[in-house]
Every structure is written in C-alpha cells, then in structure tokens.
Amino acid sequence: MHPTIVLPAFTPDQPAARVDAALREALTACDRAQECAVLWFAEVQRRTLYREFGHATLELYATQALGFSQNRFWQFKRLADDLDRLPVLREAVASGELGWTKAQQVARVATPETQHAWVAKAATTGRRELAREVQAARDVARFDARRAVALEVPPTAPMPIEASFTLRGDVLQVARLEALLEKARKQRRGPAGATRLDLVLEALAALVDGQADDAGDSAAAVQRPGVQVVVQQCPDCKAAAVATARGELALAPAQVEAVTCDAIVRGQKNRSVIPPRTRAAVLARDRHRCTTPGCRATRFLEVHHVVPRSQGGGNGEANLVTLCSRCHGFVHEGGEGALFSMEWRQDDNSGATSTPA
C-alpha cells in the first residue's frame, strides 16, 4: 500500500528550491488522492452501490451526491471502466506497484489478454518511453482492419430480470454507430446516465414521434407513448410476463408494480389506472420531464403514485409525479427515499408545481 503523504503547508516567500520541492510534493499527493478516489469510484460502479445510496444511475449519484460536473463524471467513469475491464491493472494500482500516470497510459492500449504484459512493461519502463510505446501500439491498431463487427447492447437499467440482444453490422456501420453514440454522449442527449441502449431507444422514439408530427398528431404523441407494450398478468397469482420475439419473458415484482401504476387495464371494459385528463395535467405540470433531481429524461415518461394506492393513495394530481421508466422502476425496487424528497404545493397562478423539500 502507499505510504501516508502529508501535504506541505503553504508558506509564501520561501526560497526557490523549497517552493519547487513543496510543489512537487503537493502534485504527488494530488495524483495519489485521485488514484484513491477512482479506485473507490470503481468499487461503487462494480457493485452498483449507487442504488443502495438511493440513486437509479451512477451519473445521478456522482452529480447529485458527490457534486461532480459532467466532465468530471465522465473522466472518472472512463477510468473506472478501465479498472473494471483490466483487473490486473487495478491490482497493480491498488498495491502501489504502478503509479497513476503509468496506469492511465496502460489503460489506453491494454486488453484483458495483454494486460499482464503491459503492466510488467510499465513497471520496468520510464514514463516517456512507456508513452512512446503505447502510442506506437495504438498506431498499429488503428490500421488493423481485422476486428470484431459485433456490438452487444447492454440492458438499460439494472433490474432483477433482464434480457439482452446483439446488433451486427459491417465495419463502417459499427464505426458510424460508435461515433453517433459518442457524439450523443458529449452533447448530453438523453437522460442522465443513459446507456447505449437508452440512446438507441431515444432515437427510435424520436423517429416515431416525428411520424406523429407529420400526421398532425403532435399533442397526442407527447401525451401517450409511441408504442404500447402488452403485459399479461395472472389474476390469481399476479405473475406477469411480456411477449417478445424470444418468447414470453417474466417481469420482476417491482416491474409489475411500476407497470400497473400507470397503465390501461384491458378486460370487460378497458380503463386507465389514472384518468387520461389527470395524467395529461400531471405531465403538463411537470413540463413533460422526469422530476428526479439530475435526470433529464423527456421520453418514456410514466406517472407514479407518491403514496401507493395499496396504502390509500389516490389519483389526485397532488399524489402523482412524472418519472421516466428507469427512475420509476427504481422507485418500485425500493429507491424511493432519495428520489422523492419532494413536497407538492398549490400555486394560485400556474397550478400545482413541485419544489425540493
């Protein structure tokens, strides 16, 4: 492990040699502190501890609880991804075998198969020589046209029951998709912490909404989802499943609760759980945006009962709040405490509005 580092106390008007030494000590301490912070951040990501802290995504935890800017979050996220992808490198950093500057260089080029060799090389090579070798390896890789063209899109939010699928394309299609996803991330398109699948769904939703706009039905497109998903539920055991191209997939209990919170129940007489006029009013009040602090989602919106109907909560606007499907599912999994420190008040001029408690 690293030895304890004591920051040099700042004292003005010191001799030049002392100023230089103190600055170098402080910079070394900064490197060690960032190294330590990234290791802890990677632990939060690896074990999805942010959900235990009351946040649906890692980004919401970083920006709302830790006070990170978007740039700082993505810097830490990339470093945490590298440590998660390269366990040998993570162990070398955690044990103090490899300094943080060298570790960042290794992460640029190492793969799970080559990480042992790169860590060994970094341990016996100077910083500048290592940087040159890394750059040379990257240049070679850039001209290597033989690479996998399969891109697996991960599931959107960590739920108890998940499914995944694979997209395949030629090299140019994969490169285009990666470039578009990176551009969308940099432009902060989509909700906070959006995965690649979230962004693909956002793009498809925008395409569907655009068709609705062309047909002169833009108001309806905003008030209801572009597609409907039919969920079959057993009236006795309450188990539910959704039909997909891969057959029927079971829903977790929290997913069932989220679905039944804002749905159309089909039976002898179709009816909405929440009256359509009330639902439209709640969406308008919340400006058609997820009300979770830090979440920017404006699509896949659902209306949630703050006090569950099973506990006596009603369908009045004061008991309803707009959430995106991801945050809504997280609330029903037990993360409601951090998402809802909201109290609702009546504004005589503009109707019901929400304010942080």
224 or 344: whose pLDDT is higher?
A: 224
- Across 4-8, 20-24, 235-239, least confident range: 4-8
Reported residue count of the chain is 357
Sign of the four-CA dihedral 111, 112, 113, 115:
positive
Does residue 169 register a pLDDT over 60? yes
Mean pLDDT value across the chain: 77
333 or 350: whose pLDDT is higher?
A: 333
pLDDT band at 96 (very low <50, low <70, confident <90, very high): confident
CA distance 271 to 164: 32
Does residue 261 register a pLDDT over 70? yes
Does residue 341 register a pLDDT over 70? no
Does residue 303 register a pLDDT over 70? yes
CA distance 139 to 209: 43
Q: Would you state the structure tokens that stand for residue 247, as one six-digit string?
A: 């057959």
CA distance 259 to 323: 12
E strands in 185-300: 231-233, 240-244, 247-250, 264-265, 271-272
pLDDT band at 256 (very low <50, low <70, confident <90, very high): confident
Does residue 242 register a pLDDT over 70? yes
Domain boundaries, the chain: 16-142, 150-223, 254-356
Average pLDDT rounded to a whole number, residues 23-38: 86
* Residue 281: how many other CB atoms lie within 10 Å: 16
Which pLDDT value is given to residue 19?
93
- Across 98-107, 191-200, 251-260, 347-356, least confident range: 347-356
Q: Would you state the structure tokens that stand for residue 190, as one six-digit string?
A: 């989509």
Q: Would you state the structure tokens that stand for residue 210, as one six-digit string?
A: 């655009």
* This prediction's pTM: 0.63
Which pLDDT value is given to residue 70?
85
Ranked by mean pLDDT, the top range of 122-136, 147-161, 169-183, 328-342 is 122-136
Q: What is the pLDDT of residues 180-224, one digit of tens each?
A: 777 777 777 766 667 777 777 777 777 766 654 544 444 444 455
- Across 59-63, 201-205, 250-254, least confident range: 201-205
Average pLDDT rounded to a whole number, residues 10-19: 91
Average pLDDT rounded to a whole number, residues 274-293: 91
Average pLDDT rounded to a whole number, residues 299-307: 88
Which pLDDT value is given to residue 159?
41
Q: Would you state the structure tokens that stand for residue 7, as one six-digit string?
A: 């920051």
Which pLDDT value is given to residue 161?
46
171 or 271: whose pLDDT is higher?
A: 271
